[in-house]
Every structure is written in C-alpha cells, then in structure tokens.
Copies of this chain bind each other. A is one copy, B any other.
C-alpha cells in the first residue's frame, strides 16, 4: 500500500537520539545471568552453572515491593503530596531514562527507574485527582490485581483458568441480579473497557436483527441505523464505525438542558430512518453521561424500543455502580428492561483499571454471535463439561482475569460496603454543590446534578457581574484552560474542563473516592479560588 501522508512527527531526530542508549550502566557481574533468564524457579539440582538464584530475585522483589508500597501506594495517595509533577513532553524525555539498549541494567538502576516512574506519573489515587471517571486506589482491589498478575492467567478455558472461569460466572450473575434480570439469568463478559462492552452490545444487537450478518457481513443488506444521544459516550460512534456500520448511521438524539435524551426526538429520528428505507436496530441509552452525569429516561426508551422492535442497550459504564445503593438506584429505573447493559466496576466502584462488564438479558447469546469453534482450544472431546469453556463467547482469545480484583473487593466489603461507598460519594457531591452555590464566584452548568460529576464555571473577579458584556462568554471560555494550566503546574489537584452544547469551557469535577470528607470539598473549592483569584 502507498504510505499515508507524512505528518510532522512528535519525536524530532534530536529527541530520538536523546532516548537511545539511555541506560548508562551495566557491569558484567554475576547477576547478569539472572537478568537474562526469564523465569523464577528453583532448579531440582544445584549442579548447573548460571542458575538463576532465588535469593537474588527475592531480594530484588522485596526491595521493589517496599519501594512501590511506600511511594506509589501510601505516599501517592496522601493529600499531603502533589497530584502530579508536571513537565512538558520534551522536558520529560530528558529527565527520565526511557532509552533501551543492548545491555541490561543493574538492580540498583532498576530501583531508581521504579522511583522515577512513580515521581513523574500522575497520582490517580490522590484524593484530589478528580479529573476522570476513575480515581482512588482501593487496597483490596490492588491486592486482588497483584494476585492476578502473579498467577498470570488467561481466561478462555476452564482447564487453564478454573477459579477465574467460575468466579466470572458468579460475579456476572450477581450483577445481573442487581440490574434486575429475573433470577440473575442471562449472559455476560468481562472486557477491556466500556468501549469494548458497547461494541459487544452493538454486535449482539446486529446479530439479533439478522444472524446472517455473522457470515455474510453488512454488505448487501439494509442500511442499519442506531440511535444514541448527543451526550452519549463517543465510543458508540467509534464502535459503530469499527463494526462497519459507519458513523453516519449513528443518529444522534437531542438532549434537554440537563443532558437527558429527548424521547420525542428519538421517535422522530426512528421514523426518519424508516422513511429513508433504512433499518433501525438499536437504541443505546446512557446511565450517567460522561460530562453532565445525566440519566436518560430508561422506562420511556424501553417502551419505544418495544414498539419498534429495537435492541435496548444501556451504557451504564459510569452510572451502573449506583445500583448498589438502595437510596440512589432509582435513577436507573427501567434498566431491568434492557437487552444489554455496560457497567464498569472500575469507575464508580473504584476497582483497579480495567474492570468492565457487558451484561445481557439473553442466555447464551454471546457465544452464538461470536463463536468460531477453534479446534485447538475448544476441543469437544475433553474429559470435563466444556460448556464451562467460555472463551468462544468473546472476540479476544487471550483475556485477562479482570474479575478477581472486583470479587476480592466484594468479599472484603460486602455489598453493604459498596452501598456505603456509593452513598458517601453522592453525599459529597451534594455538599460540594451546596457550597459552590453559596459562593458568588461559581456558577453551576446544570443546577441540580443527579450524579457525582458536577459541572460549573469559576467566574473570576474580572468577569463578575459582567454577564451582559458582549465578550463575556468568549472571556469565560479562556478561564478554565488557564486555571487548568496553573493547577497542573502547581500539582495541587486535577480537574478536567470541556465545552459541550456551545457553552464556554467549564470544569467537571468527579467524585468516586469515598475517603474524601466535607473538609476536602471545602479545600477543593478554595483551591479553585486560589487559582483564579487574579483572572
């Protein structure tokens, strides 16, 4: 194929020279052979030369783990430290020894690299990292993840992953029960991120429309159209394109001021697609939008899907965790009617990255949609019940055991622990909203947020009372980027900003760390004021 157009590269030749051969030291000492052998195990006999020594590895392990626990686990999650130590990319290329070379490094050098990696990384477990739909470092989640890594499994057959195979089924069943599927029955899969979960949903919906698509593809059939709101996560469009449906065939439905899907516009758009001779097949509603944290009216959408025979998907990647709280789960009323649900425990429930699920009301559908019956992996003459081999349900082949960390958290806290966690972060969000509403220098974008992401403007002194000025919006638009720059360079907190619906840039703060208290809310508010007081 012809090469695509060249673009200006982000790495200049000078950058490249700078990172090459970065690691300065390697001595041909006795531990060289240990480093070059990719295994940790004791030999049955000591008669062999150059045998990796368990002692050398164990010593390095202990030192590394001590360093990681001290610096990355405890220090990085303390509110006394900085959230980040900011450097521009080219600076960081010079500060950090990224370079790869022929020779290996000493254990001493490697320990320094661990320290540097921690220093220059953003502390996503810091209480004031409130920038994304994930944060916190759950101790039980982390131990579960470390255990998974040490066991290094891949989940496709029962024979190589017996514990994880059953654990997935049990956790998925429990989650389906919580969603409200009768007796927790149905299907489900852990997948690498909510975007992939949404992709699986599209794939199942497409199959439900016409199973022949699995074999024959989309070519030659009707034009498929799916519907989602203009505030839905971008993965719906992205995955529709990836799956060959095309971004043009994702019809975006208007949202109201608080970000909920306008169901009368949904009906109009379904009718439009039908009028065009296309085949509507799916509505992807959102339970907790990325920016406003809005919940689409699920019951109404379920009715419409029933009327038109459409697959009803709920992307509750972010909001799904609210189902753990009897006080707050009502915001997802109607989700029990969904054909499929995306729910990421790594978001509201703070499981480590990544822990995402797709849950389905239909039994055994994933395997019908995705199986290819590879004979080398899914032999039917095995001596155990091969219905436990779940690998042909998904498209990944090798797949990480993302279940263990979440299951371990669940064991540690119990369902009531998750409930308390969810109630706490809702309460914090309500408190934060209350205090910024009382202050003249903040203004809410959505007045009564339903969820724990809160969108607001900081109105700096120079703009207060100037709402009617012709350039008010334009000047306000420039405030958030400027404050974000200061915030990052100071490292005091991390909060994202964005513009949607043509609004001037506003901040979006996200709470999912139940270790934060009211005084942290006050601290965050005061930090905004400190960053913007002279603008």
Contacts and interface: CB of A to CB of B under 8 A. Distances in A.
Interface in A108-159: 109-110, 113-114, 117-118, 120-127, 131-132, 134, 136-143, 145-147, 149-154, 158-159
A176 B388 CA distance: 39
Query: Which 3 A-B residue pairings sit nearest by Cβ, starting from the closest?
Result: A244-B244, A217-B246, A39-B515
Given A1-B208, A3-B361, A121 B68 contact: no
A96 B163 contact: yes
Contacts of A35: 140, 412-413, 417
Interface string A382-403: 1111011000000111111000
Contact of A105 (B243, B362, B412): B412
B145 A149 contact: yes
A192 B397 CA distance: 10
24 contacts: A4-B365, A7-B363, A36-B421, A37-B515, A38-B421, A43-B517, A44-B80, A44-B519, A68-B143, A89-B385, A98-B166, A124-B154, A153-B353, A193-B399, A194-B397, A196-B395, A199-B242, A206-B244, A219-B245, A242-B395, A291-B376, A379-B497, A379-B505, A383-B484
B122 A160 contact: yes
A243 B513 CA distance: 37
A530 interface: no
Given A103-B414, A395-B199, A412-B35, A151 B117 contact: yes
Given A57-B139, A149-B352, A499 B399 contact: no
A485 interface: yes
Tell me the number of copies of this protein: 2
A535 interface: no
Interface stretch (A69-77, A267-275, A460-468): A69-77
Interface in A443-482: 481
Interface stretch (A221-229, A256-264, A327-335, A428-436): A221-229
A216 B248 contact: yes
A74 B92 contact: no
A82 interface: no
Contacts of A99: 170
Interface string A233-261: 11101111111111111000000000000
A384 B142 CA distance: 32
Contact of A39 (B92, B113, B117, B136): B136
A171 interface: yes
A152 B412 contact: no
A525 interface: no
A439 to B, nearest CB: 22
Given A39-B125, A40-B77, A120-B162, 20 more contacts: A35-B412, A36-B417, A38-B514, A41-B127, A42-B78, A54-B74, A57-B139, A58-B69, A65-B146, A88-B384, A105-B414, A114-B147, A124-B154, A152-B353, A196-B396, A203-B242, A217-B245, A290-B376, A354-B398, A383-B488
Interface string A33-53: 001111111111100100010
Interface string A352-385: 1110000001111100101010111101011111
Contact of A100 (B117, B126, B170): B170
A142 B149 contact: yes
Interface in A1-45: 1, 3-11, 16, 19, 23, 26, 35-45
Nearest to A127: B41
Contacts of A245: 217-219, 244
B100 A150 contact: no
Nearest to A482: B383
A44 B39 CA distance: 43
A325 interface: no
Interface string A165-195: 1110111011000000000110000001111
A364 B109 CA distance: 34
Find the residue from A7, A124, A139 having the highest chain B CB count within 10 A.
Answer: A139
A167 B376 contact: no
Contacts of A291: 376
A41 B163 contact: no
A26 B370 contact: no
A240 B243 CA distance: 9
A71 to B, nearest CB: 9
Contact of A517 (B48, B98, B203): B48
Contacts of A300: none
A400 B127 contact: no
Given A121-B151, A242-B203, A372 B234 contact: yes
A304 interface: no
Contacts of A158: 89
B89 A166 contact: yes
A77 B149 contact: no
